[in-house]
Amino acid sequence: MKKRNAVLLVIFLSLITLSMVSCTSGDKTAGTEENDWPGSISIATVGTGGSYFVIGNGLGKMIETHLDVPIVMTNSSGAEETARLIEAGHAQLGFITPDVGYDAERGLANFEELGPVPIRAVIQDFPLTWNIFTLEGSGINSVEDLKGKVGFYTRRGSPVQERIFNSVIDAYGLTKDDLGTTLIYDTDEEYQDGLKVNKAAFATDMGVHPAAKWEELATSYPLKLIGVDDEHLKKVQQTLPWVFGSPVSAGTYNTMSEDVQVPTISIYIATHADMSENFVYELTKMVWENFDEFAGIHPVAALFSPEAVERTTFAYHAGAIKYYKEIGIWTEELDERQSKILAEIEEAKQ
């Protein structure tokens, strides 16, 4: 009897063990997608101040709160280094400008030796405008009028600003040799002081309208913003397909009496193509379904938009695409655009 009871006990305990193993196995299967999430996330931003850092830091706190993934902030000198950090696995998220994104994805320009970098867009946009400023009395009313004029054409260390400048003047039939002295500036104060004392007739700058630095200048000086019309913008887009036009409304500055169209680019947050699809899906969902929280991080963060996916020119991560399809803004046309971009990337690998 005792022997029989012992056998029954062994069988009973074995069944319990099998049941526990089965349940554990089921849990792992159910959580397989989450188990391929990164153990931590490094977000690359420029410096420890400015909009990139503030938005990146705020996004990191949201990830820790909503997705329970630890965050580390990583310093980057700019979009090019950020792309390299993502490629090397030293950063998992970072801000990419469209010029760098276009070249990095295809292994062009400074990425020719490295080859195509597998970065993919997740969140877009914010729109960053490129502007030509001058003052009343300078004789500049259009881009053609820059001929023979001295001006600050770019900020030091801003290749995207210089590329847009060269493309815009080319669209109007000018080269840098047609202008007077072309100057490079390091600070906003430098080019603004140059305009004030007539050291320079024009200056270019990039930013989001309205900006306090331009409002202050317009308060005391007759600031003018020089636009780029549709005809010439299309010419710019032939060489820089990632540029689009956006209006700066009349009254944005007290010296503006009419709308002005300016070249604009989309800044986006990117990750590695091999990042967990489920994690990127949840990250994308987290931002847009908690957008009030995200928008509160910084005024520029409020300019991000899920609908802006329609005007960007980047290859997107599969996890982000999954979410955009769920909310109905990823269309068949965007599928075609994605396929075309991926085909260009594959061709570049040959």
HEC string of 302-326 equals HHCCHHHHHCCCCCECHHHHHHHHH
Tell me how far CA of residue 63 lies from CA of 57, 59, 136, 174, in angstroms: 10, 6, 48, 48
Give residue 18's pLDDT band: very low, low, confident or very high (50, 70, 90): very low
Same domain, 115 and 184: no
70 domain-assigned: yes
E strand segments, the chain: 41-46, 71-76, 93-96, 119-135, 151-155, 182-185, 202-207, 223-226, 244-248, 260-272
Give residue 300's pLDDT band: very low, low, confident or very high (50, 70, 90): confident
188 domain-assigned: yes
More confident residue, 21 or 111: 111
Number of domains in the chain: 2
Written as six digits, the tokens of 295 are: 């928008």
Question: How many other C-beta atoms are found inside a 10 Å radius of the C-beta of residue 95?
Answer: 24
Mean pLDDT confidence for 195-214: 93
pLDDT digits 0-9 by tens, 32-72: 456 899 999 999 998 766 788 899 999 999 999 999 999 99
Same domain, 135 and 259: yes
300 contact partners, CB below 8 Å, separation of at least 6: 51, 55, 126, 208
More confident residue, 233 or 157: 233
Task: Give Cα 314 to chain centroid, integer Å.
Answer: 10
Same domain, 240 and 154: yes
Give residue 208's pLDDT band: very low, low, confident or very high (50, 70, 90): confident
335 domain-assigned: yes
Q: Which 3 state secondary structure label does DSSP give 261?
A: strand
- The CA dihedral of 177, 129, 330, 93, to the nearest 10 degrees, is 90
d(CA 236, CA 229): 11
Give residue 299's pLDDT band: very low, low, confident or very high (50, 70, 90): confident
- Say what the pLDDT of residue 247 is: 94
Show which of 265, 280, 302 is a domain's final residue. 265
Q: Domain range spanning residue 101?
A: 40-126+266-349
Q: Which of 79, 124, 55, 161 is nearest to 324 (CA)?
A: 124
Same domain, 65 and 102: yes
20 domain-assigned: no
Enter the pTM of the model. Answer: 0.79
pLDDT digits 0-9 by tens, 165-191: 999 999 999 999 999 999 999 999 999
67 secondary structure, DSSP code: I
227 secondary structure, DSSP code: -
121 domain-assigned: yes
- Say what the pLDDT of residue 313 is: 84
Give residue 158's pLDDT band: very low, low, confident or very high (50, 70, 90): confident
Show which of 208, 238, 265 is a domain's final residue. 265
More confident residue, 13 or 117: 117
Show which of 234, 265, 296 is a domain's final residue. 265
Question: How many other C-beta atoms are found inside a 10 Å radius of the C-beta of residue 304?
Answer: 23
146 contact partners, CB below 8 Å, separation of at least 6: 132, 140, 169, 174, 178, 179, 201, 202
Same domain, 260 and 132: yes
The CATH number for 197's domain is: 3.40.190.10
